[in-house]
Structure 1
Amino acid sequence: MRWLISLIIVAVLAVALALAGRYDPGYVVLVYPPWRAELSFVSFVLLLGLLIGGAYMLARLAIATLNLPRTVRERKARKEAERQNADFTEALAAYLEGRFKEAEKIAAKLVGEPRREMLARVMAARAAHESRAHARRDTYLVEAKDNEKPLAALYAEAEARLGDRDFPGALSAIEAGKILAPAHTALQRLELKARQQLGQWDEVLRLAEQLGKANALDETTLALTRRAAHLGNLKRRTGDGKGLAEYWKKLPSGEKTHPSVALEAAEAFAASGDADAAVGIIEDALNKSWDEGLAARYGHYIGKAPLAQIQQAEKWLVSHPRDGALLMSLADLCAHEQLWGKAQSYAEASIAVAPNVDGHLALAAFKEQSGQPGEACAHLRKALELCHGAR
């Protein structure tokens, strides 16, 4: 298009000069003693134009000659960049297609622009990791981290360390990455996994809240992560009655009555010497929502008022008359209070609902205590059969 416009302009000028030469009687005299030259005005203009054009072309030629070395270098650099781009594209295609050894081979040799070279080393490291060549992977990661902005290398290293179950190493890479990108959601997700494996539950809770606010965790995963952190913190505080009570006080009420949390808390309080707290936790959870696992553990915690526990369990029995776990808990509570007749009745009712090892063992003890060794042996055999059947 530009050449067409130039051609039109030249044609217009030529026509204008032709018309001017036809109707313009003017002329130009050039005097340089002893010489004198006369020519028409149009001829002078044409000659001047040719001189200017020639000078321009000579100047362009001189500049091109002087710039020739730089032009050659730029052309070589451009070709090299094109080759590197093609190699990078080929390495990326090989990696995405699962040709990891080929991807590593190409990416490991790429040099040139620092950022692209760093990305190529990261790709080589990931490909080596897929090939289980961990030594080469680590070498590539070290090379990649020499870049001014090695975030991609640090992220790849964190993933690799997690895959190797080197959780402190993963956290080290993550912390370095967070210096470059403090609010990097993907890094936070990796950090969450590492801290879960290390049992750093307070940090897990903090990260879960951050990821929840960023919509990086769905509601179900967020709830499960929080619950796992609460369970871990409760278990970690077992034996520390004061710390356990303070932590339990801060928990949301909805979490306190969840069966798994209530059971872990009850175990922790009982192990810390506070059976009354364990009993109260189980009662609160069962009053809100029935759970056979909690009902089964209720008889294991003997508080300061075991008779009140028996009364509470018998109230539940009205609503859950065929709950074998509750019947067995009642048998345990009655045995603790030496209410042997009731204890035996509840144990028999428990195995009538569903044969279970605890019920038969309890009945074996009752029969032996009452001088019935034959029946005691029969219950022991049934308990043993149930154990073998469970395997």
Structure 2
Amino acid sequence: MRVLFIVAVLVLLAGTLVGELIVQDPGYVLINYRQTTVETSIWGLALITIVGFLLLHFGLRLLSYLAGRRGKLVRWNRNRGRDRANRNTERGLIALAAGEWSKAQRLLSGAADKSDLALVNYLGAAEAAQELNHPETSDELLQAALRTHPKAEVAIGLAQAQNHISRHQLENALALLMRLRRKSPRHTKVLRLLVETYQRLQDWGSLADLLPDVRRYRALPENQLEALERTTHLSRLESALSKLDEGSSSADKALALSQVWNALPKHLSSDATLGARYAALLCEAGATEQAEKLLRAQLKKQWSPELVQLLGKLPTGDSQRQLKQAKSWLDNHPDDATLLLTLGRLAMRNRDWELARGYFEKSLAQQPSQEAFNELSRLLVHLEDVEGYQRLVAENVDHLARELPPLPLPLRESAPAPESDPTAKAETQESERGA
């Protein structure tokens, strides 16, 4: 209050002083411009100037205020639209995750222009359109995404490639993925889609060339990659003969197979499954000696019952030398049922029937198998050993019939049914009643 009072006193004193000056000498001002003349005192001009300045100042302030309010209104309206678009984006993504394709496409595509995540909107809407079987709409949305986000070419290209694969447009997918690989050679998703495309096209050669990069950049888990490598090179072996003419010689067939085999990665050269199939294909091509050499070399590197079994099925070769070689393996593998089966087959090639019979019986004793049972039963039939054949069937039928359904069977005097079997127990009681 004291300050306000002092200010009021100062204003009154200033007004009194100015009034006194005006009374003593008001002054004279004349302004003449063209046909207009303005006459006033100097104090009137000062007043007009002050009032004009104040009016101009407050007018500019008013315009600035109105302009600011308009900008705030525009920003508010823009933010309001963006907030709505972001909410619709969130709802659209939820619908996409829930498999509500129509709702997801409508929400995501409608909010794409104003959303902070426009690329996500376009990609999600394109996926929903693809699921709705609207390929043209999906392609249009992806093209719109590329126009608005040209730097996201790889992400958008991956979505396009997945669409091509799902539509079985494998050549288009391959061309697009090859372009993306040149742009981003280490991209694991690009590599995985290339793997899938080559598998669908059954282009095993190109897939084999791609696998080193898949391993280098860890595009697939190790166990899955190992299975893929084995399948790829196995398929290359299988298709090697199909590319030859029907009248090709055994030498040409063996050469085609060996080219594929020699191109195997080093860590697969001792794979038992691949080695066994390669040897079997060599036999089919008529290169039995080459198949035998391969099997012996593979078995020196790593013991494999699968390879041992195949050795016993070779149609030709030095059977005596083969039998001698197989006998030497018994020192390290005396209880190997597959080796015993192979020894029995080699003994039969040497026409040593009793030796073959002994090996077959030992194989069955170690591990009952249908092959050993069939070989021994065939031998006994040709030896006309009826008693031995009957004993063989009686001893092994239970082991070799495990896949049969459990059904009631007649009692055998040599093997009475156990008390725990309700069916057998009932039959026993019925027999006793009849007696």
Normalising by the smaller structure, the TM-score range is: 0.7 to 0.9
Q: Look up the SS of the partner of 2:42 in the other structure.
A: strand
1:142 equivalent in alignment to 2:139: yes
The alpha carbon displacement at 1:347 in A equals 1.2
Q: Is the Cα contact below 8 Å between 2:27 and 2:43 reproduced in 1?
A: yes
What is aligned with 2:210?
207
| SS state at 2:41 partner | strand
Which digits, 9 at most, give the CA deviation of each residue in 1:286-345, with x for residues without a partner? 222222222222201245322221111111111111111001111111212222222222
Instruction: Find the partner of 1:367 among 359, 376, 380.
Output: 380
| 1:223 lines up with 2:222 in the alignment | no
Structure 1 letter corresponding to 2:311: Y
Q: Which deviates more from structure 2 when the two are superposed, residues 211-220 or residues 240-249?
A: 211-220
Q: Structure 2 vs 1, CA of residues 304 and 29 (structure 1 numbering), >3 Å: closer, same or farther?
A: farther
Relative to structure 1, the CA distance from residue 58 to residue 37 in structure 2 (aligned partners, 3 Å threshold; closer, same or farther) is: farther
Residue matched to 2:31: 32
Q: What is the CA RMSD across the aligned residues, in angstroms? A: 4.2
Once residues 214 and 76 of structure 2 are traced to their aligned partners in structure 1, the CA distance between those partners, rounded to angstroms, is 49
Q: 1:189 aligns to what? A: 192
- AA aligned to 2:94 is A
* Aligned-partner residue type, residue 39 of structure 2: W
Q: Percent identity?
A: 19
1:237 is matched with which residue?
Answer: 240
- Equivalenced residue count is 361
> What are the ranges of 5 or more consecutive residues in structure 1 without an aligned counterpart?
1-17
Decide whether the 8 Å contact of 2:288 with 2:314 is kept in 1. yes
Structure 1 residue 124, shift from structure 2 partner:
3.7
CA contact (8 A) 1:257 1:285 kept: yes
Give the equivalent residue in structure 2 for 1:179: 179
Distance 1:55 1:77, change over 3 A: closer
C-alpha distance in 2 between matches for 1:180 and 1:250: 27
In 2 relative to 1, CA 361–58 (structure 1 residues): closer, same or farther, beyond 3 Å?
closer
Q: Which amino acid aligns with 2:57?
A: G
8 Å CA contact 1:159, 1:170 repeated in 2: no
Q: Relative to structure 1, is the Cα distance of residues 143 and 151 closer, same or farther in structure 2, using a 3 angstrom cutoff? A: farther
Which whole-Å CA distance do the structure 2 matches of 1:381 and 1:198 have between them? 52
TM-score (norm 2): 0.68
Distance in 2 between the 1:390 and 1:380 partners? 16
Aligned mates of 2:27, 2:206 — CA distance in 1:
94
TM-score by length of 1: 0.74
Letter in 1 for 2:42: E
Q: 2:85 touches 2:115 (CA, 8 Å); kept in 1? A: no
- Any unmatched runs of 5+ in structure 2? 1-10, 16-20, 33-37, 147-152, 243-252, 405-435
Task: Name the CA distance, whole Å, in 2 between partners of 1:83 and 1:249.
Answer: 63
Residues 377 and 193 of structure 1: CA distance in aligned 2, closer, same or farther (over 3 Å): farther
Label 1:252 to 1:73 Cα distance change in 2 as closer, same or farther (>3 A): closer
Larger Rg: 2
CA contact (8 A) 1:145 1:153 kept: yes
